[in-house]
Chain A
């Protein structure tokens, strides 16, 4: 084992066999944290974003926070209800992509897929950024380096996922339940202290006055509506991740659909109560946030003050657990961890979706391949790269990133809800049983409400965020969409081109003419000669391009001395080049008889080091490349392993990364999507 392998082994771990892919079925109590971490984690930043946006209207804005929270909760309820229908109708775990593809056609599926792919990248960026922002409550020194810290965390997540962290129950369950307990406990304790004990709890920012942006103060008319819409669409970030369960149905225990639906309901209840609790506490403690980029700032007694930004979660934990620091650290730690876990769920979802898309021919086939650790390595690398670029570009600012976010989620919500209504309509056409008809009709109504709800939200989100950054997300989706269409078109065109038609005669070439390229008379050439003779071609000849008169004479003499029983043709090369005359010669014997096949044998030196590769084979490589473009010409490379080739072989034996290059080693595995539960988030 060399140093590189050691490092890789340490970072990535031992290889896993395909058989170790094992599918573990999850009980509800484990499934909830596994699939809910993304949805719940958004509770950590969605209330912040509502308050931040409202701060643009100064003190007047915060009054509306609970109405907006209510609206978000209603949308969440609608979405959860709608997805409960999806879970029953599509238990295969294809998620929104499958729903859209089946009911609305591949184009709609592709729209959903591109929206989801973009959103996965944003999920990582937003969650990690938010985690870093929360961490600042504990580690103030992070201030100013958020971008780099977030990038480092994405790298850590990437390497964890390259190791192939399965969503092993306990690994997810502890922090997710910890987060639930922390936030709900904080809410209950806070409410008890305020309402029960009558404590006068004040958030650290309660004493400040918020001065908003002039364009939203006073908060009336159109400006008010616009600001409300913006706050609402930022708050809708709380909905991201709700669809995760619908992609994970195969991972549930029997009865799968029923359990998944119940888990979804539980998720909705927990998320709504946590979300509502935070907004409520924020109102009660007088918590305030500002959006410095948007133009709002704090004032104390009429003088602008600079206050280090701290998230709502951080402030609330500090206020409510002012006498109990353990509670504060617990809440903050759990928030941080769950946010990183949420980012991690995207690392599970993106590669799986990518692999499904690759299977359907919308993405390069390499994305369909599992790496050493059974993870879709290429997809993971792509996702990490994109997310790192985003967090560095936006310096891990949740407020900036969230403008790009949510659009994709709601595009996929809306399209899939539309697909679900079509699904029920289609099934109602054939269904006769009145009881099941009634059930289907009820489901269709729910999905129609879902469609209306998510559609309206999508319009609001687009309208209110477009100029603030959503257009970038839309552009990215369009780009991904076009790219996938292009890839698909290419794959289809190639498939059509190479498909075996009924008229393709199984006609054998009338004659095979073997041509051996001779540059020297030595062992590699002899091997080529022997091999060519063994193939029993119709005719066989050796070809030497005469570049140097004296050298040619020597080679011809040597050839003659070897008594090879094969005619040697010496080609004149007036311009001292090898490839040109050789290609001309092959072209000449080609045009003689079009049904003939010419097989060119090129002796090739197999070497152990890259620099040896520069010293050998150059003519052969060029010839090979050029001959491949000629019709009816096959090129056979006859390898001759030089002594140094054993270095390369040893390297390949040691190096697992290069193992796929070893023939027959079976290192490249294709994802078995039939067996693999399609899990997103």
Chain B
């Protein structure tokens, strides 16, 4: 990835898997949008992130309303949590978002409570 030699880069792209290429592509988009890479976010850091929702969890009605989504930008995953909501129109699996908020580490997992979010049109 670090190489600047165009020939070597082309060669690497040929050998790379679909998933690798995809994550690279998404990281590039995130970078161009001025977002931080999820893998480089530190605990308690305010960050703007850009990526897609990989897994959206719908909690049962009985518990506290709570919307949870795994958010991925190709470099890493952060769990977005909206408290007090069971669903948010427009937030669905596969949706591309720009989110910002304070990322915290819980049990080694990144979490982002009640992020600001911006739906990005397909």
Contact = CB atoms under 8 A, between A and B. Distances in A.
A431 interface: no
B59 interface: yes
Interface stretch (B4-12, B35-43, B47-55, B110-118): B47-55
A469 B52 CA distance: 73
Interface string B50-66: 00111111111110000
B77 to A, nearest CB: 9
Nearest to B122: A549
Nearest to B108: A592
Contacts of A573: 93-94
Contacts of A563: 60-62
Contact of A574 (B55, B56, B57, B94): B94
B92 A571 contact: no
Contact of B55 (A560, A564, A572): A572
A655 interface: no
A567 B61 CA distance: 9
A565 B56 contact: no
A549 B95 CA distance: 10
B90 to A, nearest CB: 12
B61 A560 contact: yes
Interface in A540-588: 541, 546, 549, 552-553, 556, 559-560, 563-574, 585
A520 to B, nearest CB: 16
Contacts of B58: 556, 559-560, 567-570
Interface string A515-555: 00000000000000000000000000100001001001100
Nearest to B86: A560
Given A569-B55, A571-B55, A572-B55, A552 B60 contact: no
A567 B92 contact: no
A556 B55 CA distance: 13
A565 B62 contact: yes
Contacts of B62: 563, 565
Nearest to A542: B58
A563 B60 CA distance: 7
Contacts of B61: 560, 563
A568 B69 CA distance: 11
B107 to A, nearest CB: 10
Contacts of B59: 567
Give chain A's interface secondary structure class: mixed
Q: How large is the interface on B (under 10, 10 to 19, 20 to 34, 35 or more residues)?
A: 10 to 19
B109 to A, nearest CB: 9
Contacts of A564: 60
B69 to A, nearest CB: 9
Nearest to B107: A592
A537 to B, nearest CB: 16
Contacts of A541: 57
A281 B58 CA distance: 98
Contacts of B57: 541, 567-570
B55 A552 contact: no
Contacts of A568: 57-58
B93 A546 contact: yes
B93 A571 contact: yes
Nearest to A561: B61
A570 B92 contact: yes
A585 B55 contact: yes
Contact of B92 (A546, A565, A566, A569): A546
Contact of B54 (A552, A556, A565, A571): A571
A572 B93 contact: yes
A571 to B, nearest CB: 5
Contacts of B55: 569-572, 585
Interface string B15-54: 0000000100000000000000000000000000000111
Nearest to A571: B55
Given A560-B58, A565-B60, A572-B55, A553 B92 contact: yes
A595 to B, nearest CB: 16
A549 B60 contact: no
Given A572-B52, A572-B55, A567 B60 contact: yes
Identify which of B54, B57, B60, B93 gathers the most chain A CB atoms within 10 Å of its CB: B93
B115 to A, nearest CB: 18
Contact of A572 (B22, B60, B94): B94
Interface in B57-81: 57-62
Identify which of A541, A572, A585 gathers the most chain B CB atoms within 10 Å of its CB: A572
B18 to A, nearest CB: 8
Contacts of B56: 569-570, 572
A566 B57 CA distance: 10
A585 B28 CA distance: 24
Given A572-B55, A585-B55, A546 B60 contact: no
B71 to A, nearest CB: 11
A574 B56 CA distance: 14
Contacts of A567: 57-60
A563 B86 CA distance: 13
Identify which of B52, B56, B59 gathers the most chain A CB atoms within 10 Å of its CB: B56
27 contacts: A541-B57, A552-B93, A553-B92, A559-B58, A560-B61, A564-B60, A565-B62, A567-B57, A567-B59, A567-B60, A568-B58, A569-B55, A569-B56, A569-B58, A570-B55, A570-B57, A570-B92, A570-B93, A571-B55, A571-B93, A572-B55, A572-B56, A572-B93, A572-B94, A572-B95, A573-B93, A574-B52
Given A565-B62, A569-B58, A572-B95, 5 more contacts: A563-B60, A567-B57, A570-B92, A573-B93, A574-B94
Q: Which 8 A-B pairs have the closest CB atoms?
A: A572-B94, A572-B93, A570-B93, A546-B93, A565-B60, A570-B56, A568-B58, A569-B57
